[in-house]
Structure 1
Amino acid sequence: MTLNFLWLVLIVFMFITAVKFVLRKTLNIKKNEKKFFSYNHINKLHKKIDLTFRTCSLIAFIILFYYILNSEFSINYFFIALVIFTGIEYVVQAFFEWRYTDNPKHSILTLSEMVVIITTLIIIFQFDLLSKFS
């Protein structure tokens, strides 16, 4: 079970890396040095918006979990919310990269990463792949 899930995560990570590599070479985008597992906020406004959004999404997920566990809500609502929140988070990141950095082309890489992740989530949701991992 967990081995299959880890393979899926590894494949998605490798695909994201490959897409970013091709886009960097094709569009001459300089590589930004980012810390691994950091938020990489562009400025204070971005940090404030990101913190507010993460707090609101956490509250929304807690409420959603409550309704999924205690009533007849479908788990599909969780996946829909996950896709929406992921999309919003990446769009905000890309906007701040495009608007407030020296290298606005980097927002293209962020949006391509968003497309890959959201496509992966939709494929997992559409083909019910989580049930195949259990």
Structure 2
Amino acid sequence: MFWLKVGLGIIILYVLIRLVKFFLRKLFNIEEEKREWFSYNHINKTHKKVDWFIRTLALVAQMTFLYWVIFEEYPILFFLVPMFLVVIADFSVRAFFEWKYSDNPKQAILTIGEMVVFVAMLAVTFQFDLLNLGY
């Protein structure tokens, strides 16, 4: 049942992000850019360096918090709050580089919209304990 909820949540998240992007494209007249699936789509070398720095720092932080949650029996929220911060930092950096250095700065609007939907979905999931984590 847990994996059914996770799968349904991922499908709902995907559909919501696509809808938000569709409406933002129509509202702000943003043309669609082709992006490859599962690629990093860095704007320039500085973006790549900053992005990898954030990812590395996030990995170390998440492993530390996960250790504390599992072995030191801290509450699961001790792990989830940094996850929110990592998501916000990742999307914010991408939006900044799209706005500042890309050929189409309006793409930053779509990135911010995607971030809002993603963070809202995480917040709703954890606030109402939809995965029955019991925190």
Query: TM-score, normalised to structure 2's length?
Result: 0.94
AA of the residue aligned to 2:40? Y
**Root-mean-square deviation (Å):** 1.0
**4+ residue stretches of structure 1 with deviation over 4 A?**
none
Alignment correspondent of 2:96: 95
Shift in Å, 1:83: 0.6
Q: Match of 2:42? A: 41
Structure 1, residues 83-109: CA drift from partner, whole Å, max 9, x if none?
Answer: 111001000000000000111010000
Seq. identity, %: 43
1:107 equivalent in alignment to 2:129:
no
What are the within-5 Å matches in structure 2 for residues 1-134 of structure 1?
1=1, 2-131=3-132
Mark the runs of 5 or more structure 2 residues left unpaired by the alignment: none
TM-score after normalising by structure 1? 0.95
Q: How far apart in 1 are the matches of 2:95 and 2:110?
A: 8
| In structure 2, C-alpha distance between the alignment counterparts of 1:122 and 1:22, rounded to whole Å | 22
| 1:8 Cα deviation after fit | 1.2
Following TM superposition, by how much is the alpha carbon of 1:4 offset from its aligned partner in structure 2, in angstroms? 2.2
Q: CA deviation at 1:72?
A: 2.9
For residues 42-68 of structure 1, give each alpha carbon's deviation from its aligned partner in whole angstroms, at most 9, with x where no partner exists.
Answer: 000000010111001000011111111
CA distance in structure 1 between the partners assigned to 2:87 and 2:8 by the alignment: 21
User: How far, CA to CA, are the matches of 1:81 and 1:130 in structure 2?
Assistant: 18
